[in-house]
Amino acid sequence: MTGWGGVGIVVSGNLVKTDSELKSHRDSALTLFFSSHTAMNVGVCKIRLRLPGNLSLKGKRQVIKSITTRVASKFNVSIAEVDDNDRWQVATLGISLVSNDNRYTNEVLSKIVDFIVGSRFDIEVLGYDIEILSV
């Protein structure tokens, strides 16, 4: 947006609009946007793992790195170790996903838990929680 003497204009194709015209257009576009879109869903999963054969933090990092890399690439989610950073045989992972469909969000997070449980990683799943927030 460029201002000339207090009057802003935007050139779009062959159209030139003043500040007041832009505000009116923006307000109607925002109303249309928010009325035609459903709520954003943020899915969060916290999964606690036990690494029974692990003897060092370095070994733990290798296992956690393998899990996080595979899950992130397969499911296109954000995943990180969020707790128990200094414990050798326990890890807590946080996973998040943003979607516009509540059912899809729950399905993907459940599939991730199943993927980790059924994987060949040397781990045991101690428990997990899934929460979906509508924003």
Nearest-angstrom CA–CA distance, 58 and 49:
16
10 Å Cβ neighbour count for 49? 24
User: How confident is the model over 5-22, as a mean pLDDT?
Assistant: 44
Task: Please give the angle made by the CA atoms of 31, 37 and 41, to the nearest 5 degrees.
Answer: 130
Amino acid at the residue 30 = L
Instruction: Give me the pLDDT at residue 134, please.
Output: 84
> Is the pLDDT assigned to residue 7 strictly greater than 70?
no
pLDDT: which is higher, 19 or 2: 19
Out of 13-17, 55-59, 110-114, the most confident range is 110-114
pLDDT: which is higher, 88 or 68: 68
Categorize the per-residue pLDDT at 74 as very low, low, confident or very high, splitting at 50, 70 and 90: very high
> Residue 88 in contact with residue 55, Cβ under 8 Å?
yes
Distances (CA, A) of 30 to 5, 100, 104: 27, 18, 26
Report the DSSP pairing between strands 78-83 and 90-99.
antiparallel
pLDDT: which is higher, 14 or 106: 106
When mean pLDDT is compared across 2-11, 14-23, 57-66, 69-78, the lowest value belongs to: 2-11
> Is the pLDDT assigned to residue 78 strictly greater than 90?
yes
